[in-house]
Structure 1
Amino acid sequence: MDDVGYAMDGRNMRNKTIFFVLLGLGLFGLASCAGKSKEIAAVCGNSAIEEGEECDPPGVGACTASCTRDTSKCGDDLCQFPEGPSNCVQDCPAGVCGNELRDDGEECDGHDLGGAGCQTLGYPGGTLGCSVATCEFDLSLCTNPNCGNTLLDDGEDCDSANLNGKSCEALGFDGGELTCSSACRFDDGACYYLSCGNGTLDSGEECEGWDLGGATCADFGYAGGVLRCNDNCRYDKTECAASLCGNLILNEGESCDGGNLGGATCASRGYFGGALACHGDCTFNESGCTNCGNDTINAGELCDGADLG
């Protein structure tokens, strides 16, 4: 009986050993499969957007080979110049302010000014812009020959310290300091709303915290960079970079672009005559402008007409 019991105990021990060995192999296999499953899920190209990926699968729309989104291509869900509706319908739907196409009721849209410029609107020069929010002309950078004389002339909001009795409150803000720009337009950058800082983009605010209302640096004529929101809930463009100088379109901050002088001439710049040009950094090149012939000896002249000095 003892021999039989011993034999049975031996078989039981072997069975237990085999059981635990198989159990261990099974658990190891499950762990291995789990590891492989996790590794596969993280691979770009599985059509599932996982942590660290901006899109998937690659090669579709603006999705790159590394599953990041190329914001310069059609399919990035942002309507940016030079896409425009004719080049990227999916990003630039028709009939919407901001689609780079002047639709019915719009004076302009993005870079599409309809051929208008400061001069065609009665100003001697400057850079015509377009409101991102309303698709109406932005005349703030159009120049006025009388701007700076402290008098309110036609077309001016203000002149130097002369604010025409206006204040931030009069313009609908809750407080702040209203000033006058060099183009004799109100500068309300220091005006504020009491609601600013409540985490909600309220009426009148350009932005609120991280909520930029969908705007990007590209909306203001820049090729890239980071648009932020300042403490007054106004756009902060200081980190926008790589302006579109060289695209022959007058973007914000440019005086000219290539042969596009925005209607400006040497005469509108205060010279008697000559040929106005544009520098490579999109600022005016006045080296070809001259005052010779105005019968006045100007700097660098020995004589002028009958005036021999």
Structure 2
Amino acid sequence: MRQESIVTLLLFYIIVFGGCAQNSTGTAICGDGAKNGQEVCDGENLGDAVCTDLGFYGGTLACDAQCQFNTSGCVGRCGDNIVQGSADEQCDGSVLAGATCQQLGYHGGVLACTATCTFDETDCAASGRCGDGTLDTDNEDCDGAIPDNITCNTLGHYGGSLACTEACTFDISGCERCGDGILQSDRQEACDQSQLGTNTCASLGLPAGTLTCKSTCQYETANCNVLSQNGTPGEDRALDAAMTADHQLILVGATSGGLDGEAALGLSDGFVTRVNPATGARLWTHLMGTTGADEANSVALDAAGNIYVTGTTGGALPGFTSV
């Protein structure tokens, strides 16, 4: 009996005094470097825990005087109202970084943020978006399929196959139309983009220049012109013009010098000159006048090609008497 009591007493001492992390009352001691009981850490003993274990993106974890984690050295986490793109956050709380439903491709709605810092597009989706297969006529021409009542012809084109782009707008590249770069004379197109047929400014009876095509597939002749400068060192004026049947230009005016090699007759002389408008070249020039101041004011042509000039003189023309 005595031997059994001694064994029991020894076992009791082992149980009471065997634990080094507890005080004499059996409770954990914060600060002894051993993590026990309700302690999550003790001093530098963090139990291998790091900031990322607690939801942070980085930093240095520490232990406070109550043997609880001190996260003041941890940085960044979902829920701090700072959008951290490097951590793949789209948003954080009420901070959406300027994003809207429209920027995400929806037609409207109010964008929100989930608890995991990703966009909550629930309200956006209720407004629809291009690509959802539902036609929103206020914002889309089409959505996948082409509406039954819409064809190339109803859009003002000649025919062909209409399609829908990824942006939910009509793709008219398959429609035969003005602007497709194909000259379709049977559709009353004179031209189509760079396709001008065989015509030029000259073949249309216009001065030389560059013939182009309007968006209406009709010729643009604004550049069918030639800039040419004529004159003498003195004062010269072109006062009138007329076009001959063969598209030559007759100019009249006044010159104070020997124009085109013609000898000056007086203070100023009337002139008549024939010009090729396609090149600007002067085909011939004739001066007329007196020893005074003269000018040719206007010109007209008859069906036979005769040229009629009127003007003023400062004296008697050759063979005439001044009145």
Question: TM-score scaled to structure 2, two decimals?
Answer: 0.23
Larger Rg: 2
Question: TM-score scaled to structure 1, two decimals?
Answer: 0.24
Greater per-residue strand proportion? 2
**Bigger relative contact order (CA 8 A; separation at least 6):** 1
